[in-house]
Amino acid sequence: MSENHEKSIPQSENISVENYDVAVIGGGINGVGIARDLSIRGLKVILFEKEDFGWGTTWASSCLMHGGARYIINDIGVTYKSSKEAGVAKKISAHLLSRRPFIIVSHSKTMIKLFDIYMSVYDMFSIMRGAIRHFKINEEEVEKITGKEVVSKGGGVVTEEYAVDPVRLSVLNSISAKDFGAKVLNHTEVIKIKKENNQYLVVAKNTLSKSEIIVRSKIVVNSTGPWADKFILNATENNKKKKRLRPTKGIHIVFPGKILNSVISFQAIDGRYLLFVPLEDRTILGTTDDDFFGDPDEIEILRDEVEYLIHSAEKFIPRIREFRPFSTKVGLRPTPYVYGVNEDKITREFEIEDDDGFISVLGGKLASYRLLAEIVSDLVCKKLGVSKKSKTHLIPLPGSENSEGEKDEEIEKFSEKIKDYLSRNFRIPEDVAHFMAKKYGWRSKEILSYYDSGELVCECSKVYEGEIKYTIEKEMAYTLEDVARRTWAGDGFCNGILCAKKIIKILLEKERKPEVEKFILRREKLLEPVKKYNQKLWEEFQKFKKEMLKD
Ligand SMILES: Cc1cc2nc3c(=O)[nH]c(=O)nc-3n(C[C@H](O)[C@H](O)[C@H](O)COP(=O)(O)OP(=O)(O)OC[C@H]3O[C@@H](n4cnc5c(N)ncnc54)[C@H](O)[C@@H]3O)c2cc1C
């Protein structure tokens, strides 16, 4: 152990520290999934997240709870797990999922014939997700289904996948973990870990209040995604420079509105497959897959990466340049280390490393997070001599209560039912009711009964004051960014120009620290790579920035 490390660890004999069974580090989808599983089993759990739940790679994903058709050839286990888990996700998080036709298009008729054969194999996995069997369509049908926005000289092959808001999925897992007794802390970075008397001493710092927290835990789960190597090197006694990860960078471009009803998959200039994914209030185009050797806290989006996506998409979506992108997303896949393999061939399987009760989780997919969490939790329980089994496949997430009985084909109707109830009983516009059903499920009733809807705060994503108050009081939102991630207010087309001041006012009333500068600089960083396609928005944003940061 280095001398510096020894000095920076407080001596535990003099401090009163709380004891836990498990300390989970990292509140991405995998960390919150593990914390939820273990707290449902009755273990004493603490979760630390240095920024916010689902803020990292999870947010940067393509938002698909997909079966993973592309992994059949090299990684069939990933297809199996993802398909099975997409089936479970419908039962426990029905309100978050949206069925989306998924159309693979090509300018080559031969390619479509090959896809037709390939997708016959995928059909066997589609049954596990309750999705339709694939079918072929011709070029006229592609145009008809997509309102002439997509052209393909060879036609297409249609299957079905689920879209999800990965940040809300993470927030709801963290709330559920808390409801089952876990201590769940966002904005709290773990800075040091030391083994002492067969237990781990964990030292963390709240990045908003700057206060320090020290706990003792029997097991530590390192679920820091792409930060795993950096975290081990900087915060633990293990200072061997072993590479566990080979992270790859992926970017998306974000367009306003739900441009299509179907996900479109097409070949890029280099032969890789890209996705155009319609979400509820936006559509994303991605993604790249490039080796990344830098610091995970300093990822930049290059203009070239944006051009690669736009240039490739234009071949199939001719009006792509006119859709006025308003932001971008970027993240690192926490893929396990391997040498001599092309980036997009690196396995999406996860690996678990157990170093004397310090368990590192490496890799995985959003789609199979629950299964990963179950397997890691089984290992933790075995080490602690606990015989309780996982129940996360049976207990719905907050807002999706009573969804267990829904049949596959009725999954879309679950949110419809909530939407109808809300618009009937609370007299809110249908689009607002739809968005609320998708974000909060049945919890929307609580928002509208206790908080009332109040004033419209965000016009882009139709967010009312009540939602913002709810998310601050009940969903652990502390800053402007936290509110934007949970409610979409300030995260839409205007980038906060029209609504940030109103959100700040509510945050201050609730005695929170909005962190305005951090919000503005992050929005700017994500808008800058696409400013060429939306010069007017960029200019407005610069004026807004000047006004907001003038003091
Ligand atoms: C571009 C892209 C597209 C993708 N698309 C899909 C898709 O459509 N479907 C799919 O199934 N999968 C997809 N994936 C994969 C999926 O997103 C990831 O596998 C998954 O989100 C990883 O989650 P995680 O919890 O391991 O990591 P993260 O979400 O990165 O979470 C790790 C967390 O650890 C925290 N942390 C780090 N250090 C500390 C510390 N010292 N103290 C406290 N907290 C700390 C970070 O703040 C972070 O929130 C995609 C990935 C990328 C990059």
pLDDT digits (tens, 9 = 90+) for 123-181: 998 888 888 899 999 999 999 999 999 999 999 999 999 999 999 999 999 999 999 99
Percent of the chain with pLDDT over 70: 95
Q: At residue 508, what are phi and psi to the nearest 5 degrees? A: -65, -40
Contact 94, 410 (CB under 8 A): no
Residue 27 CB less than 6 A away from ligand 1:
yes
Residue 396 CB less than 6 A away from ligand 1:
no
**Alpha-carbon separation of residue 484 from 261, 428, 514 (angstroms):** 24, 21, 11
pLDDT at position 403: 66
Nearest residue (by CA) to ligand 1, atom 19, is: 365
Q: What is the pLDDT of residues 325-377, one digit of tens each?
A: 999 999 999 999 988 888 877 878 889 999 999 999 999 899 999 999 999 99
End-to-end CA distance of the chain: 45
> What residues in the chain have per-residue pLDDT under 50?
1-15
Ligand 1 center from residue 61 Cα (angstroms): 8
Residue 226 CB less than 6 A away from ligand 1:
yes
User: 3-56+168-242+349-384: what CATH class?
Assistant: alpha beta
Q: Can you spell out the DSSP letters for 48-115?
A: E-SS-TTTTHHHHS--EE---GGGTTT-HHHHHHHHHHHHHHHHHSGGG-EEEEEEEE-S-HHHHHHH
CA distance 71 to 513: 44
Residue 485 CB less than 6 A away from ligand 1:
no
User: Which tokens belong to 292?
Assistant: 């990344």
Return the best residue to mutate from 34, 48, 57 for the ligand 1 pocket (most ligand atoms within 8 A of CB). 57
Domain map of the chain by residue range?
3-56+168-242+349-384, 98-163+246-345, 409-548
DSSP 402: T
Ligand 1 center from residue 333 Cα (angstroms): 7
For the beta carbon of residue 127, count every other beta carbon within 10 angstroms.
13
Amino acid at 526: L
Closest CA to 523 of 547, 546, 497: 497
For the beta carbon of residue 401, count every other beta carbon within 10 angstroms.
15
Ligand 1 center from residue 54 Cα (angstroms): 7
Q: What is the mean pLDDT of the chain?
A: 92
pTM (global) more than 0.85: yes
pLDDT at position 551: 66
pLDDT at position 83: 87
Which atom, in ligand 1's list, is nearest to the CA of 333? 53
Contact 363, 334 (CB under 8 A): yes
CATH architecture, domain 98-163+246-345? 2-Layer Sandwich (3.30)
pLDDT at position 213: 95
User: Which tokens belong to 546?
Assistant: 């000047």
Ligand 1 center from residue 53 Cα (angstroms): 10
User: Which tokens belong to 28?
Assistant: 């991405």
For the beta carbon of residue 391, count every other beta carbon within 10 angstroms.
13
At 137, which helix (H) or strand (E)? strand 135-137
Amino acid at 413: K
Nearest residue (by CA) to ligand 1, atom 52, is: 61
pLDDT at position 340: 86
Amino acid at 238: N
348-364 as b/e, with b when 16 or more CB fall inside 10 Å?
A: bbbeeeeeebbbbbbbb
Return the best residue to mutate from 24, 59, 61, 274 for the ligand 1 pocket (most ligand atoms within 8 A of CB). 61
